[in-house]
Amino acid sequence: MKYEPKPIAAAQGVACCDVVNRGAVYDGGTLFYNTLDNRTVALDAATGKEKWVTTLGDINKGETITMAPLVAKGKVFVGNSGGELGVRGWFTALNASDGKIAWRAYSTGPDKDVLIGPRFKPFYEKDRGSDLGIHTWPGEAWKQGGGTSWGWVSYDPALNLVYYGTSNPGPWNAEQRPGDNKYTAGVFARDADTGEAVWFYQMSPHDLWDYDGVNEQVLVDLPINGTTRKTMLRADRDGYLYVMDRTTGEVISADPFVHITSRQGIDLKSGKPIENEAKKPSVGSVVRDVCPAAPGGKDWQPTAYSPRTGYLYIPANNLCMDFEGVEASYIAGTPFVGANVRMYAGPGGNRGEFIAWDPVNRRKAWSIREEFPVWSGVVVTASDVAFYGTMDGWMKAVNARTGEPLWQFKTGSGIIGQPITYRGPDGKQYVAVLSGVGGWSGAIVAGGLDARDGTAALGFVNAMTDLPKATTRGGTLYIFGLP
């Protein structure tokens, strides 16, 4: 059985950071996934036949879809990509039965478009007010303001809330968009049935460094100061591990899990980041040693939490950058960035780290240094084994309690896909992973970019000049049986 969606080839020309797809979801006999040219597809999992196809965006405006959908409460949740092309971000719920749009919430614009009403009660004053999606932008800049939702979606059935992050404002040159630029670079909690916003927290008001906010929300109940609280764990691009109350949006704690120079902390009373004034960018001048770099302490590659160990396992980056703001002009469907960037390894020279983080005691339990950014996701099992992949092609298993190496296997290409574990029809447990380097971090290999141009791939090439010597293009599914 085979199904080919045949996306419009021109969609590749407006895909910001390599041509990627972050996965599909299975629910009740139906397979749901998105295409680069803005379609959400529902297939009969048994036959491969289309049940419905819904077009959600327009590649001529620079919109694409790269995220994996989530299905909950009879709805398919989807967000768009294209913040680097000046699109207007949105998050949409489709009826799983027929593909019709149930609701759509924009990240910028008037409250009626953002689906903000009487239920909206952000924890912090900085996120409160009327029509902030307009008033925190100059003029009509919100119409090209970014805030796309191309990352991960979480759902709490007890609260009936969906959680998702919004990406960077456009352009990267912050001088062109004075203000907090709501509702970009933050996380929304919305009613799954109606889309009505319940709360919002902005990690990066007036985002200076492309820190976005699309990373995953891990929903766990944790003992905090003697009381069990409904929390959300976010290893954010800004380099802080946020422990938040998922009912209210309160930040309980925020601690650095990587080296940070761009900020001096998070003020828990106001919820605001304490920016390092010496590192603020400006047009025409180069700010050096900004850490973490734009891909963050961790980008979209998802973490995993083990209720057995109490640790959150973080595939992290150790990257810094030099940043220069430049003027950007908006033309629909073309890059709208406004920055020259060069990235490089952070302190110690390693560009990645695999971290076990204790969110209750707010500390690193153990970590493993990696030569390249750890751009794969993580899976951790009930037998206390954590699996992850490396960009030079190693699939690794380590003791989830201590970090002790247990096993590794060299695949044919760098791993930027997420390992999964499942039980087969034979009753045996397996671990599977896709090997095939690419994405923003691996663009130098997948796109055949010239290592001499350190600004290529929005500056990531400068940090990855040796990756072509360590791996090649690929595209292979590996399945490993567990004893």
pLDDT tens digits along 387-400: 999 999 999 999 99
Strand partners for 240: 256
pLDDT of 321: 98
Dihedral sign, Cα of residue 463, residue 469, residue 470, residue 475? positive
pLDDT of 483: 85
- φ, ψ of residue 98 to 5 degrees: the values are -135, -5
Instruction: Say whether 134 sits in a helix, a strand or coil.
Output: helix
15 half-sphere exposure, CB direction, 13 A CA radius: 23
What residues are annotated to the active site? Answer: 84, 168, 210
Contact 312, 348 (CB under 8 A): no
**Is the domain covering 9-374 a CATH 3.30.70.920 domain?**
no
Amino acid at the residue 310: G
| CB-based burial label for 168 (10 Å; 0-12, 13-18, 19+) | buried
Task: Return d(Cα 83, Cα 166) in angstroms, integer.
Answer: 10
| CB-based burial label for 180 (10 Å; 0-12, 13-18, 19+) | buried
Mean local confidence (pLDDT), 156-176: 97
Quote the distance between the C-alpha of residue 483 and its chain's center.
33
pLDDT of 315: 98
Dihedral sign, Cα of residue 131, residue 132, residue 133, residue 136? positive
Q: Which residue has the tokens 């995953």?
A: 216
pLDDT above 90 as % of the chain: 96
pLDDT of 198: 98
Mean local confidence (pLDDT), 57-81: 97
Task: Return d(Cα 370, Cα 280) in angstroms, integer.
Answer: 29
Mean pLDDT in the chain? 97
Taking the alpha carbons at both ends of the chain, their separation in whole angstroms is 30
Which DSSP helix (H) or strand (E) runs through 133? helix 132-135
Task: Return d(Cα 309, Cα 123) in angstroms, integer.
Answer: 30
- φ, ψ of residue 38 to 5 degrees: the values are 80, 30
pLDDT above 70 as % of the chain: 100
Contact 133, 107 (CB under 8 A): yes
By residue count, the chain amounts to 483
Cβ neighbours for 52, distance < 8 A, ≥ 6 positions apart: 41, 42, 98, 99
Dihedral sign, Cα of residue 51, residue 53, residue 54, residue 56? positive
DSSP state of 168: -
Mean local confidence (pLDDT), 166-173: 97
pLDDT of 16: 83
Task: Return d(Cα 256, Cα 193) in angstroms, integer.
Answer: 35
Task: Return d(Cα 193, Cα 215) in angstroms, integer.
Answer: 23
Mean local confidence (pLDDT), 272-284: 95
What DSSP line would sit under 392-446, residue for residue? TSEEEEEETTT--EEEEEE-SS---SPPEEEE-TTS-EEEEEEE---TTTTHHHH
Band (17; pLDDT cuts 50, 70, 90) = confident
Task: Return d(Cα 125, Cα 116) in angstroms, integer.
Answer: 15
What is the 3 state secondary structure string of 180-216?
A: CCCCCCEEEEEECCCCCEEEEEECCCCCCCCCCCCCC
Q: Is pLDDT larger for residue 15 or for residue 432? A: 432
pLDDT of 20: 85
Band (19; pLDDT cuts 50, 70, 90) = confident
Two structure tokens written together for 340 = 């020259």
| C-alpha distances out from residue 349 to 125, 136, 345, 396, 452, Å | 40, 39, 5, 21, 20
pLDDT of 274 > 90? The answer is: yes
Q: Dump pLDDT digits (tens) for 462-475.
A: 999 999 999 999 99
**Nearest CA-CA partner of 125 in 277, 264, 250, 265:** 250
pTM of the shown model:
0.97
Domain coordinates in residue numbering, the chain: 9-374
pLDDT of 1: 77
pLDDT of 271 > 80? The answer is: yes
Q: Dump pLDDT digits (tens) for 341-371.
A: 999 999 999 999 999 999 999 999 999 999 9
pLDDT of 2: 87
Alpha-carbon torsion angle 55, 59, 61, 63, nearest 10: 70
Instruction: Say whether 286 sits in a helix, a strand or coil.
Output: strand
Contact 109, 133 (CB under 8 A): yes
Q: Dump pLDDT digits (tens) for 98-157.
A: 999 999 999 999 999 999 999 999 999 999 999 999 999 999 999 999 999 999 999 999
DSSP state of 21: -
User: Helix count (H) and strand count (E) of the chain?
Assistant: 4, 32
Task: Return d(Cα 454, Cα 449) in angstroms, integer.
Answer: 10
| CB-based burial label for 98 (10 Å; 0-12, 13-18, 19+) | exposed
